[in-house]
Amino acid sequence: MSDRSAIEWTEATWNPVTGCSKVSAGCKHCYAERMALRLMAMGQPNYANGFEVTLQRHMLEKPLRWRQPRVIFVNSMSDLFHSDVPDSYIDAVFEVMTRAHWHVFQVLTKRAERLASYASSRAWPFNVWAGVSVEDARTAGRIAFLQQAPAAVRFLSLEPLLGPLPNLSLDGIHWVIVGGESGPGARPMEKSWVDGIRDQCAATGTPFFFKQWGGRNKKRAGRLLDGRTWDETPSTHATPWSPRPTGQA
């Protein structure tokens, strides 16, 4: 768990699971995989298995030791809903998040179908936000599964954005984050794609957060869109929304 995070849309990270596997095009140049392998080479004990999915049980209760409220990204180095993470362990993570009610936890996944299935059979804590990653039109179907989750805040991470998303379903979505890919081999993001998403957010009153243009040197490319930063965020006290029943469009 990191006391501070360089990720623009959160304050801290907590990794009760490390490691993952690729499921779609957005995973091709995974930053977490690069970092995990580097940490393994440095001898960091949590990454002795490299990027293999590993349950870090000794990390489970870390948030309970943080008394100052903060926004925490859960599993920045993994995916809580990976098939190799048993339901019983996900339950343990949620139990800690429920107990640490003074924090806000952001759970982001590409395994949207499992997220919806898990959420359908358990109480969802009010301080846990649910999000899915969508990189292009082929993965936009993840949004419908997110819309089934009874989280008070549901968000989209459209990063790395690899294509246009002209018909976003934003019903019950409280926040949209957009970012280009960064690091070695970064694929370019077109401004028209970003403009289209921002305009859809404006039309629906959905907070829009522009994270980065990306590229090999993301700091040089910066975060400005049309001459300004876009750092809109959802209310931490969003009104609960009734999720769409399974099977409805």
Is residue 2 within 8 Å of 10, Cβ to Cβ? Answer: no
Helix (H) or strand (E) holding 13: strand 12-14
At 195-242, the pLDDT tens digits run 999 999 999 999 999 999 998 888 889 999 999 999 999 975 444 433
Give the strand pairing for 54-55 and 17-18. antiparallel
Report the C-alpha gap between 143 and 149 in whole angstroms: 10
CA contacts within 13 A on the Cβ side of 218: 21
Q: What is the pLDDT of residues 88-129, one digit of tens each?
A: 999 999 999 999 999 999 999 999 999 999 999 999 999 999
List, in order, residues 6 or more apart from 35 with CB less than 8 Å away: 77
Domain ranges of the chain: 12-221
Burial of 182 by CB count in 10 Å (0-12 exposed, 13-18 middle, 19+ buried)? buried
pLDDT digits (tens, 9 = 90+) for 60-75: 999 999 999 999 999 9
